[in-house]
Structure 1
């Protein structure tokens, strides 16, 4: 029984991890697309920087789902 619980826990953790990676990748791609569409080199550069790329992915996913925040458009647009 313990082995079944461990297998289910491992599969659930893997599924959640893969889902987070996919969401982050989609958000990052949308961020880069917005940077190109807005013509903002600074926004594009932020998306390419390592640790800031994670933040760009989160903000990109937020922008894809709810629309780009005005502060983001004013900062980079």
Structure 2
């Protein structure tokens, strides 16, 4: 429909009386790449400690079974 012409690529969350819009895949913390892939462990650990937690099905930050934590 003409009303939907600028909606392309959006994901909506519809539950009960609520209509929400997903805001995923934003760039999080950044670090300088290492020359040797074997040196990535500490870099990834630092990025994980600074990164926002993954969202639950309710769209809220969540940590626990089945979700990555902020540490490795």
Structure 1 length-normalised TM: 0.29
Structure with greater proportional strand content: 2
Higher radius of gyration, 1 or 2: 2
Structure with more contact order per residue of length (Cα contacts < 8 Å, sep ≥ 6): 1
